[in-house]
Structure 1
Amino acid sequence: MKLGISSSAAEAILAHARADHPREACGLLVGRSGQVTRIVPADNVAARPHAIFEIDPATLLRVHREVRASGEVVLGHYHSHPNGRAEPSRADAARAVTDGQVWVIAANDALTAWTMTAEDFAAVELA
């Protein structure tokens, strides 16, 4: 699987991760046909935002309504790992579902992408 992401969207994710450090930054990936056309930063409302993320439900609902009207889709979400680990954590795996959505992780000023399979996370190529 491959996910297209513009350099401006990628840089916006990395900037959000740097700004929210040491908390996990998070947001939504919006686009069409496997191409991220924009990101929507969200507040991390998790009880332990230094260790896990939870996208603000109001942002989540608003963006889903917006994309329905525009023809875009929510392709997945992004979050940062302030600990520098560029792969999904155990907390990520415990909350993941096999719905085809992409998880982009910002760590060490770089991005990796993943999707959940029936067994585990699988790497997604960023293009």
Structure 2
Amino acid sequence: MPFYTYMLHCSDGSYYTGHTDDLEQRISQHHAGNLGGYTKSRRPVRLVWSQEFGERYEALRAERQIKGWSRAKKEALIDRRWDELSRLARSQSQFTLRQAQGERVSIVADAFEAMQSAAQTAHPREACGLLLGEGDCITAALKTRNVHPSPETHFEIDPQALIDAYRSEREGGLRVMGYFHSHPTGSPSPSETDKAMAAHDGKIWAIVADDDVMFWADDKDGFHALSYDVGSG
């Protein structure tokens, strides 16, 4: 039985990546909105890329890999611009080599997509929320209200959401691993405002800009980039 990894172009301009053992049926389900989730509110969708694999784990591995790619890499794959894809892959590898050794974060696909969805929904304002998890894995991205008086350029997580999350952690719930927010314009790198408000407490920050996501550690020496992988949870 063949398995497929596929990419859809959504009505809001974003890309969705998934895998299935029946491509035609799965695309029909996305069109009809029967699957819920990310694509239901972003119809119509259009299939822009797919690849067949012999084993499910191969298709799932490709899905996880592509979910972690930048928009530029996804579009190079869609357009079959192999030279550009190779160049971007080398650039990403070189960037990873500059990151601190051994510092890597894992995030489940649902949480990764929840951050992207929050950013799309909040645009042109900044989305924000909490990163929750167990061990070294982020298993949930909890969107919260942005209570800053200038949400187009700043974010402030609802204090009550923070209180509730830390209370839940003390009672044995998921650990508060960090925070996420979006940059409606610009790059997924910490802004001067981000640097000024950082607590240098070792928490993880995820920043979403368009389809790009980057993770950062906020330690005593400031922000430094983290490599990451997207898993199925």
Query: Do these two structures clear the TM 0.5 threshold for a shared fold by scoring above it?
Result: yes
Given the alignment, which residue of 117, 138, 142 partners 1:40?
A: 142
| Aligned position for 1:68 | 170
**Deviation, structure 1 residue 119:** 3.2
- The normalised TM-score by structure 1 is 0.94
Distance 2:173 2:184 in 1: 34
Distance 2:125 2:178 in 1: 20
Runs of at least 4 residues off by over 6 Å: none
| Aligned position for 2:117 | 15
For 1:15, what is the secondary structure of its paired residue?
A: helix
Q: Deviations over 1:56-87 (max 9, x none)?
A: 00111111111221242100000000013110
Residue pair 2:216, 2:226 contacting (<8 A) in 1 also: yes
Segments of 5+ residues of structure 1 without an aligned counterpart are none
- Counterpart of 2:223, as a letter, is F
1:24 equivalent in alignment to 2:126: yes
- Counterpart of 1:122, as a letter, is H
- Counterpart of 1:13, as a letter, is M
Distance 1:120 1:81 in 2: 19
The worse-fitting range, judged by mean Cα deviation, of 87-96 and 58-67 is 58-67
- Counterpart of 1:99, as a letter, is D
- Counterpart of 2:221, as a letter, is E
Question: Does 1 or 2 have the higher relative contact order (CA < 8 Å, sep 6+)?
Answer: 1
- Counterpart of 1:43, as a letter, is R
For 1:23, what is the secondary structure of its paired residue?
A: coil
**Deviation, structure 1 residue 108:** 1.7
| Aligned position for 2:160 | 58
For 2:227, what is the secondary structure of its paired residue?
A: strand
Distance 2:198 2:151 in 1: 17
| Aligned position for 1:113 | 215
User: Which structure's residues are more often helix, by fraction?
Assistant: 2
- Counterpart of 1:77, as a letter, is Y
- Counterpart of 2:228, as a letter, is L
The worse-fitting range, judged by mean Cα deviation, of 11-20 and 30-39 is 30-39
| Aligned position for 2:185 | 83
- Counterpart of 1:25, as a letter, is A
The worse-fitting range, judged by mean Cα deviation, of 115-124 and 13-22 is 115-124
Distance 1:23 1:92 in 2: 15
Distance 1:22 1:113 in 2: 21
The worse-fitting range, judged by mean Cα deviation, of 104-113 and 12-21 is 104-113
